[in-house]
Amino acid sequence: MSGFNYVSKETLDQMREELNRLKTSGRAEIARQIAEAKEKGDLKENAEYDAAKEAQGHHEAKIAHLETAIVAARILDSKDIDISKVSVLSKVKVTNLANKKVVEYQLVSEREADLKTGKISVTSPIGKGLLGKKIGEIAEITAPSGVLKFKVEAISI
């Protein structure tokens, strides 16, 4: 895939809200912790200060990561999805040829993936294997347990 991260509008809104929270209340909380630790004396031997500074580094890294993800985000609208083949945001009904079990997955970005709700990442082995397949085609996916074969039964939005 390209350097883009395809997400729904709702997910992009959530990412922006989280970034805003991290930049405002999150930074304020870290600053408070650092100030509190400074009040406790000698900074060379102050483990609390070191921990607060380390937390600040992690916090800033999280902000940078989220900013990068937002810049790379592209909104995908369901009306723009071609359901002649499996693509990002499409739902695909597949049959596992080994056990004949039928499952439905929606292919989403890594950020939206949630196996409990049937949303799998397009970058996961199954997601990658299903991308571009058409109804009736068989996706062969290499997994730690061996090669899985899924027959594409239906594609929808």
Question: What pLDDT digit, counting tens, does each position of 107-118 carry?
Answer: 888 878 888 999
pTM for the model: 0.61
Considering only CA atoms, which of 120, 89, 80 is closest in space to residue 103? 120
Q: Classify residue 26 by its DSSP letter.
A: I
- Alpha-carbon span 87 to 84, nearest angstrom: 9
Using the structure block, give the residue that is written with the tokens 């027959």. Answer: 151
Domain 78-156 CATH (choose: 3.10.50.30, 1.10.3720.10, 3.50.50.60, 3.40.120.10): 3.10.50.30
pLDDT above 90 as % of the chain: 46
Domain 5-75 CATH (choose: 3.40.718.10, 3.90.226.30, 3.40.50.720, 1.10.287.180): 1.10.287.180
Q: What is the mean pLDDT of the chain?
A: 87
